[in-house]
């Protein structure tokens, strides 16, 4: 009973801390009101999910996966900034230098959630838009097609995200 209680408390503190860190990254504020609300919301969510986390949830909360998730957010943010600069350059250039079209890319991700996050990450990156997911193939509208073959398009669009998502979602 004591071990169960200690384990539950440790899980509660870990989940609360992780949620609060995510809250803080998203708000970027140390204003006392923001901190109190963030801690309160994080603790409430942790409390409601404390009862019986599934085996999958415990697996997702491993330190390696959490660290990779934060690294992935950095990689995604970098890709978004670089793509924004590229699209802005194309917009202000005297001649529009684009070669739009739809390409197919393959993913080795097996988890449906990982594929969904990959598709959303591609869509968040300016210049690309995920149109459809068909099994392990994603249909992407690309503002400037650099490669029409599946392997080349996969390397250009998917490879920067896929490795991190494999570690995070297995």
Residue 25: domain span: 2-55
Say whether both 76 and 45 belong to one domain: no
Report the DSSP beta bridge partners of residue 134: 137
The sheet carrying 137-142 orders its strands as 101-106, 137-142, 128-134
Rounded CA-CA distance 133/112 in Å is 10
Same domain assignment for residues 79 and 51: no
DSSP string, 71-110: HHHHHHHHHHHHHHHHHHHHHHSSS---B-EEEEEE----
Does this model's pTM top 0.85? My answer is no
Same domain, 41 and 107: no
Do 93 and 164 have their domain in common?
Answer: yes
Express each pLDDT in 143-169 by its tens digit: 988 888 888 888 889 999 999 999 988
The reply to whether 106 and 43 lie within a common domain is no
b/e 44-81 (16+ beta carbons within 10 angstroms → b): eebeeeeeeeeeeeeebeeeebbebbeebeebbeebee
- Residues 88 and 127 occupy one common structural domain: yes
The pLDDT tens digits of the residues spanning 66-86 come to 888 889 999 999 999 999 999
What tokens appear for 119 in the block? 């598709």
Distance CA 112, CA 115 (A): 5
Is there a single domain that holds both residue 45 and residue 88? no
Last residue of a domain, one of 34, 55, 76: 55
- Residue in this structure with the two tokens 């660290």, named with its chain if needed: 67
pLDDT at 55 over 50: no
- Are 72 and 112 members of one domain? yes
More confident site: 96 or 164: 164
Both structure tokens of 165? 């998502």
| 119 in the same domain as 153 | yes
- C-alpha 127/C-alpha 148 separation (Å) is 16
Last residue of a domain, one of 55, 77, 99: 55
């Amino acid at each position: 009973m004591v071990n169960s209680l200690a384990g539950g408390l440790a899980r509660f503190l870990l989940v609360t801390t992780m949620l609060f860190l995510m809250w803080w990254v998203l708000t970027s504020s140390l204003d006392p009101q923001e901190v109190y609300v963030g801690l309160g919301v994080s603790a409430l969510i942790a409390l409601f999910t404390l009862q019986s986390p599934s085996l999958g949830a415990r697996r997702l909360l491993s330190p390696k996966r959490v660290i990779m998730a934060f690294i992935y957010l950095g990689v995604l943010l970098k890709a978004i900034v670089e793509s924004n600069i590229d699209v802005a350059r194309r917009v202000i250039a005297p001649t529009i230098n684009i070669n739009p079209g739809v390409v197919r890319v393959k993913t080795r991700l097996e988890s449906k959630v990982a594929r969904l996050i990959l598709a959303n990450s591609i869509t968040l990156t300016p210049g690309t838009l995920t149109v459809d997911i068909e099994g392990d193939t994603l249909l992407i509208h690309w503002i400037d097609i650099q490669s029409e073959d599946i392997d080349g398009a996969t390397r250009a669009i998917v490879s920067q995200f896929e490795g991190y998502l494999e570690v995070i979602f297995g």
